[in-house]
Structure 1
Amino acid sequence: MSLEQKINQDIKAAMMAKDNAKLRGLRAIKAAILLAKTEKTQVDELHADTEIKVLQKLAKQRKESGDIYKNQNRDDLYQIEMEELQVIEEYLPKQLDRSAIEDVVKGIITEVGATSIKDMGKVMGAANQKLAGSADGKTISEVVKSLLS
């Protein structure tokens, strides 16, 4: 079952349960998937990696918006963003913790023969490919910088 089909089923379930917070998050996911499908020149199904990228983008947007609302003391809007973020994260693969990311990056550093911060581009390219969907780019970048410096 594709992510889109699962989202449609979950929207129906959330409507029946009258779960407005979950419904908002699911509708945001559905809208982003439909937008991604129209951008990919009339594709019927998105690849799993594209779906994950769409979900990661939505999660990042919710986190950034939540931070802004928190800084402006808008707890009502912050709460809405965090509720939607929780729903989006349910559909993302489990994120690795920092130590697991460090282990993977150490292996990549030895694999590509990186010795200094100048090799960060090579390491980042390989790390982003290997950790796609299971870690965000910001964390990967922080780990690579700390290991290469």
Structure 2
Amino acid sequence: MLFDQISTDIMAAMKGKDKVRTQALRNIKKYFIEAKTAPGSNGELTDEAAMKILAKLAKQGRDTAQLYTEQNRPDLAEGELAEVAVIETYLPKPLTEEELAAALREIIAEVGATSPKEMGKVMGVASARLAGRADGRAISTKVKELLS
């Protein structure tokens, strides 16, 4: 399980005195524990749920780094991007534009969508199936393109 892997990797990072990796992994574990203990949770964290958390953290880190860059704080942006790099080692390889289009064509055929009005049906399936491998905005843009 991903939760156990993160715990093991924290110990390895601490022993290796890798401060950035240790900090990033501790942050990940904090979010994992919050998800496990959230009201309505059964105390378990599936790898699928963990992947969604990792994808969200990576996106937040990239967005924060971009803000730091815009505010002329490259030192802070560099720190954020270093943590994002650690997070991304646990995420599946992102889909290329062609792979995304192919996966979405398959989903569109599967749900039988034929017009932009049926975008919601496609997005529901696509968001779940492609979580962590493609950004929601990229999925939405491509679905609109394919349905029109």
- TM-score w.r.t. the length of structure 2 is 0.91
Q: Give the direction of change, closer, same or farther, for the CA distance of 1:76–1:39 in structure 2 (3 Å limit).
A: same
**CA distance in 1: counterparts of 2:39 and 2:12, whole angstroms:** 29
Matches within 5 A, 1:82-93: 82-93=81-92
> What is the root-mean-square deviation in Å for CA atoms of aligned residues?
1.6
Measure the CA separation in 1 of the matches of 2:101 and 2:7: 37
TM-score, normalising length from structure 1?
A: 0.90
Q: State the secondary structure of the residue aligned to 1:132.
A: coil
Q: Percent identity?
A: 47
Report the count of equivalent residues.
Answer: 148
Partner of 1:11: 10
Residues 95 and 134, structure 1, Cα contact 8 Å, conserved in 2: yes
Q: Which residue of 2 aligns with 1:47?
A: 46
The corresponding residue for 1:70 is 69
Structure 2 portions without partners, runs of 5+:
none
**Cα contact 1:101–1:140 (8 A) shared by 2:** yes
Which whole-Å CA distance do the structure 2 matches of 1:122 and 1:110 have between them?
11
Ranges in structure 1 where 5+ consecutive residues have no aligned partner: none
How has the CA–CA distance of structure 1 residues 91 and 115 changed in structure 2, closer, same or farther, with 3 Å as cutoff?
A: same
Q: State the SS of the aligned residue for 2:133.
A: coil
1:102 aligns with 2:104: no
Secondary structure class of the residue paired with 2:58: helix
Per the alignment, in what secondary structure is the counterpart of residue 87 of structure 1? helix
How far apart in 2 are the matches of 1:70 and 1:121?
Answer: 35
Q: Secondary structure at the match of 1:103?
A: helix
Query: Does the residue aligned with 1:84 lie in a helix, a strand or coil?
Result: helix
Q: Decide which moves more: 80-89 or 90-99.
A: 90-99
